[in-house]
Amino acid sequence: MTWGLILDIFKTYWPMFLRGAGMTLFISVIGTVVGTIIGLLIGTIRTIPTPDRGPNKILLKLVNYILTAYVEFFRGTPMIVQASVIYYGAPLFLGIDMDRIFAALFIVSINTGAYIAEIVRGGIISVDKGQFEAAHAIGMNHVKTMLHVVLPQVIRNILPAVGNEFVVNIKDTSVLNVISVTELFFQSKSIAGNNFRYFETYFITSIIYLIMTITVTRILRILERKLDGPDNFTVIPGNQMQVQKPEDAVKRRDALKQ
């Protein structure tokens, strides 16, 4: 192996690497966003208090059984197996001939939704029960309590886990080559098959994956800091809250001492 050979391979096949990386990002971004929405819905439904009696109790239990089965199946089986079963099984059992890209988006989305659902459920459970009781005391039903009190806190708390799921999706899209989706790993296999330089080709591929995951991680950390907001606030008349910079707080303290 020489660095010159690696550069030659990259210069020759960079359009294929670029197309593969673009497809990988496209599938992972869409799959993570849709999966997060699915996970939020399922996680919220699974935390609805069970009524004491009546048809609503039976219906809610049935829904919970179905959602639990969905979560356990997609968390308990590899994505490569799910991709094969769904893509090749849909024409046989449902008569649906799926487009490969649509199948890839569908598989990544529902797989991510199963993991995010458990993350959301754990985030909702971690919120202090006193907040639920206070919301109900002022007349909020379960839906309003979740929308206005609980979910804003949950979304901030689960953001690192969702970001981790995004990074995992970037890497796990490589298994979609089993259904011939032209993502980065599939393109790398084609390049290595053309030049018979497997190590050099996959070395370039690993660097591209590393660049994508590090970039996504840094962007998500910046977003987390933005959601945290400033560290210092000053309460002013009219029940309003004003942001105060740390240096301003020090000056104000010194002025009060004088």
Separation in Å, CA 167 to CA 36, 162, 174: 14, 9, 12
Provide, rounded to the nearest whole percent, the portion of the chain with pLDDT above 90.
Answer: 37
Residues ≥6 apart with Cβ < 8 Å to 147 = none
Q: Is pLDDT of 84 > 70?
A: yes
- Segments in the chain forming alpha helices (H): 3-45, 55-76, 79-89, 100-126, 129-137, 142-145, 151-172, 184-195, 198-228, 246-257
Q: How far is CA 21 from the centre of its chain?
A: 18
pLDDT of residue 155: 82
Q: What is the topology classification, in CATH, of domain 3-233?
A: MetI-like fold (1.10.3720)
Structure confidence by residue, pLDDT tens digits, 126-182: 777 787 778 878 878 777 888 788 888 888 888 888 889 999 999 999 999 898 898
Q: What is the pLDDT confidence band of residue 1, given thresholds at 50, 70 and 90?
A: low
Higher pLDDT, 27 or 148: 27
Q: Is pLDDT of 233 > 60?
A: no
Domain definitions of the chain by residue range: 3-233
- Is 233 within 8 Å of 35 (Cβ atoms)? no
pLDDT of residue 70: 93
φ and ψ at residue 243, rounded to 5 degrees: -75, 135
Q: How far is CA 89 from the centre of its chain?
A: 26
Give the mean pLDDT of 192-209: 90
Q: Say how far apart CA 156 and CA 119 lie, in whole Å.
A: 12
- Is 182 within 8 Å of 23 (Cβ atoms)? yes
Higher pLDDT, 156 or 99: 99
Structure confidence by residue, pLDDT tens digits, 109-127: 999 999 999 888 888 887 7
Q: Say how far apart CA 49 and CA 51 lie, in whole Å.
A: 6
Give the mean pLDDT of 215-244: 67
Structure confidence by residue, pLDDT tens digits, 37-62: 999 899 888 888 777 777 777 888 89
